[in-house]
């Protein structure tokens, strides 16, 4: 199998290029780098689902959905959209992320008094029984 590229890639590579590619992947240096990167990848808790377009694609989808040009966006909303699956659900530790808002009672503020919103992540209590909040 290493002598020739897979059938669906056969037209993409010249035989000499394929042999050079295979040879480069069989070196001890490559194996060492690959093992290092696998270790880095294993630590990733939050897989993104932005596809090949990444953040740019997600931003464009947000613009289309909202119907106007986004000049600024909430980084939390963007993060949630990048890491949610096709059904819009988060998994793993990210499931504990909850949307929250801060309202104040002030006659000088119009509307419902909303002054801030975002997301928080609740974690286990520390050794003193206090809940740790991030966000």
**In this predicted model, what pLDDT tens digit does every residue of 64-75 receive, in sequence order?**
777 665 555 567
3-state SS, the chain, equals: CCCCCCHHHCCCCCHHHHHHHHHHHCCHHHHHHHHHHHHHHHCCCCCCCCHHHHHHHHHHHHHHHHCCCCCCCCHHHHHHHHHCCCCCCCCHHHHHEEEEEEECCCCCCCCCCEEEEEEEEEEEECCCCCEEEEC
Q: What is the pLDDT of residues 15-66, one digit of tens each?
A: 888 899 999 999 999 999 999 999 999 988 777 777 788 888 888 887 777 7
Q: What is the pLDDT of residue 28?
A: 96
Q: What is the pLDDT of residue 71?
A: 55
Phi, psi of 82, deg, nearest 5: -70, -30
Phi, psi of 89, deg, nearest 5: -100, 140
């Amino acid at each position: 199998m290493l002598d020739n590229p897979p059938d669906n890639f056969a037209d993409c590579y010249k035989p000499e290029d394929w042999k050079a590619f295979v040879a480069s992947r069989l070196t001890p240096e490559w194996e060492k780098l690959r093992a290092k990167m696998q270790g880095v990848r294993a630590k990733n808790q939050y897989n993104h689902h932005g596809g090949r377009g990444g953040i740019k694609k997600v931003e464009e989808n947000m613009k289309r959905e909202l119907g106007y040009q986004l000049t600024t966006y909430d980084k939390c909303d963007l993060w949630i959209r990048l890491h949610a699956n096709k059904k819009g659900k988060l998994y793993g530790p990210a499931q504990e992320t909850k949307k929250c808002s801060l309202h104040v009672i002030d006659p000088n503020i119009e509307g419902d008094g909303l002054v801030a919103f975002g997301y928080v992540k609740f974690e286990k209590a520390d050794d003193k029984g206090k809940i740790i909040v991030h966000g």
